[in-house]
Amino acid sequence: MKALTRGVSPEVAQCELTHLEREPIDFGRASREHGAYVEVLRSLVDEVIEVPGDARFPDCVFVEDTAVVLDDLAIITRPGAESRRGEVEAIAEALAPLRPLMQIEAPGTLDGGDVLVCDRTVYIGLTSRTNEAGIEQFRAFARGYDVRAVPVHGALHLKTAITRIAHGTLLVNRDWIDVAPFAGWKLVDVDPSEPFGANALLVGDVLIYPREFPRTRAKIAGDVRLVPAGELAKAEGGVTCSAILIR
């Protein structure tokens, strides 16, 4: 397995925000957090491909939104925020040696943070960043996958509300999604005091999880590696956002 990451932009404080009030973001602290996260990734995968940050793109560290890598292809997205659409060029270049590439085109929009791949089932959030046209294009590209649209309310992305934490288990904030599409999965609820605690990154059998959510962490079984994620959380980022896993 490989992981693709991108450095923090020196302009990260000018990031897009949808559900949070803007507050100062310390570039140095955000970079140190990201470095610690990359080191944990490096211990779990065969290779970390690092793309430099870019001052033109304040949100570029959230590389997950620019592509979705499946077993046999990579789908380059068309981010819902216009300011982010230029980010995809560098990521497409990095992925081109590894997978055939397909591209979401207008009028479709799709953020990778809305795409939860669970084996051959793909759940895609209908949000302010991902529309039905984008989901239909994804479905056409991802032949052999069962692609299901999931409305999201009150959260930026689907994976703000639900992520996979073990083979048959999902971590969820039920306030932001209807869990009916996830019938058959074991569901672990975030602690009510930690609404943003549903975002986790499963790498093999190991879970990367923010140290800022100890009450939810206490509900999670298995091998969990804690990372600092508070500074990038001010930019509406989570631990899935900062990596693309390439299996």
- Tell how far CA 75 is from the center of its chain: 14
- Residues with catalytic annotation? 157, 241
CA distance 119 to 63: 21
- Tokens for 15, please give them: 């990031």
- Tokens for 119, please give them: 């084996």
Residue 107, preceding peptide bond in cis (omega within 30° of 0): yes
- Tokens for 104, please give them: 């979401």
> Which amino acid is residue 22, in one-letter code?
R
- Tokens for 175, please give them: 């306030």
The answer to whether 100 touches 73, Cβ cutoff 8 Å, is yes
DSSP code, position 148: E
